[in-house]
Amino acid sequence: MGASLKKIEKSVATLELTIPKEKFEEGLDYAFKKNASKFNVPGFRKGKAPRFLVERYYGEGVLYEDAIEYVFHEAYQEALKTFNLEPVDYPDINILQIGKGKDLVLEATVAVMPEVELGEYKGIEIEKIEYDVYDGDVEYELEKLRQQNARIIPVEGRPAEQGDIAVIDFEGYIDDKPFEGGKGENYELELGSNTFVPGFEDQIIGHNVGETFDVTVTFPEDYRVEELKGKTAVFKVTLKALNKKELPELDDEFAKDVSEFETLEELKQDIRKKLEEKNKREAENEMKEKAVMKVVENAKVDIPDVMVERQIDLSLRDLDYNLRLQGLDLNTYLSITGKTIQDLRKEMWEGALNRVKTQLVIDKIAKVENIEATEEELENKLKELAESYRVNLEEFKKSLTESQINGIKEDIAYYKTIDFIFNQCKIVSKEE
């Protein structure tokens, strides 16, 4: 079998494959045996007519499709190996020559893994990023701790106020008919939290425990449930109980209760230290991101559309998964936003193109610099994953396929390469 690489243009390869007539004849014979029972030739029981009569009765081309399928794979794989091509899609096949007693000549056009031409990736100059920790940041974290450790105590002798926790039964009606999702019992609603439809919580304020009253609201036009958009609803509400949060005093006793520290000052210092560490990580990650962006911009690569389309497919799958965690799905999201799936794919194109290019460039640098995951790094990552899934390490290892393990190795190498790029950067202060 012979093959020639006619051209590669924008990461799309065109191959010409020549299958000898003897091999094609073998394919025709295979196709006949595969389909013999389907042929009904006058004068013969179904499936019993010889091949030459089947070809005469149905036409010579009746066996071509299965014959081509039979011979194509081997010739195609040989050509890919010969020209060191890595396809990223299925090939389109065009018949250049076909006929009994002739060599079969096919043209296969396929998107292939693009060549990456790296630009400058060492010594990239990036501006230093720093985030300060202010007293207000520490106070904010302390207030969160207070809220988390608040006592809930009953309210007596007064009507509901902003900030109270109202325990309510409610049922909503639109045009005097109850609607799905509009009913709740013993629901704890913090007044002022904006958990419910705008206006709902405000109308509870001023009422006393034991009262039953109407709350009238209009659902926003952008409400997540299509059937309720812009509709006016009346809720029958019973205020069953009122509670409020009692916040602890910020003192040494509070520090002892919520931490391992003896004094409030020690707790504040620990909060500040953790915020500084967090800010440092965030600043470093931002600088890494900027460095990678510059390296990717410096590289040249022709990315076939099919690779971008597949990245969009992955993004849509992730979006649908995240929406389902919120009780929605992709179709509902499209209905709410008034978009089509084509609109969404178009919006995602540039981001997907950049993600594909970034992956290709990072992979190329890893190859050039011989950056790989070590056995120790793989073992540590597997331990980390097993702990996050709360499973035994050895059982977790046994559950992984070779492909999954290779994927983990690739992830390790990917982030090692980003660290390599960052460590090679020249970081300059704004003043410079």
What structural domains and CATH numbers belong to the chain?
Answer: 2-111 (3.30.70.1050), 151-246 (3.10.50.40), 281-428 (1.10.3120.10)
pLDDT at 431 over 70: no
Under the banding of pLDDT at 50, 70 and 90, the label for residue 32 is confident
pLDDT of residue 406: 94
pLDDT at 304 over 60: yes
Q: How many CB atoms lie within 10 A of CB 282?
A: 12
pLDDT of residue 332: 81
pLDDT of residue 59: 86
Among 16-25, 32-41, 357-366, 418-427, the minimum mean pLDDT is found in 32-41
Among 87-101, 289-303, 306-320, the minimum mean pLDDT is found in 87-101
pLDDT of residue 14: 92
pLDDT at 44 over 90: no
pLDDT tens per residue, range 275-287: 999 999 999 999 9
pLDDT at 317 over 80: yes
pLDDT at 432 over 60: no
Average pLDDT over residues 20-44: 86
Separation of CA 348 from chain center:
12
CA gap 425, 125 in Å, rounded: 6
pLDDT at 47 over 80: no
pLDDT at 41 over 70: yes
Q: Which residues contact 182 (CB under 8 A, 6 or more apart)?
A: 170, 171, 172, 173, 233, 235
pLDDT of residue 63: 83
Average pLDDT over residues 21-36: 86
Under the banding of pLDDT at 50, 70 and 90, the label for residue 6 is confident
Task: Reduce the secondary structure of 143-200 to three states and give it as a string.
Answer: HHHHHHCCEEEECCCCCCCCCCEEEEEEEEEECCEEEEEEEEEEEEEECCCCCCCCCC
pLDDT of residue 429: 86
Residue pair 23/1 in contact (Cβ under 8 Å)? The answer is yes
What average pLDDT is seen over the chain? 91
280-283 long-range contacts, Cβ below 8 Å, gap at least 24? 280/131, 282/131, 283/129, 283/130, 283/131
Under the banding of pLDDT at 50, 70 and 90, the label for residue 352 is very high
pLDDT at 356 over 70: yes
pLDDT of residue 214: 96
pLDDT tens per residue, range 109-160: 999 999 999 999 999 999 999 999 999 999 999 999 999 999 999 999 999 9
Among 134-138, 243-247, 263-267, 326-330, the minimum mean pLDDT is found in 326-330
pLDDT of residue 328: 80
Under the banding of pLDDT at 50, 70 and 90, the label for residue 243 is very high
Q: How many CB atoms lie within 10 A of CB 349?
A: 14
Average pLDDT over residues 229-233: 92
pTM summary value:
0.73
pLDDT at 174 over 90: yes
pLDDT of residue 5: 84
pLDDT tens per residue, range 370-394: 999 999 999 999 999 999 999 999 9
pLDDT of residue 30: 87
pLDDT of residue 347: 94
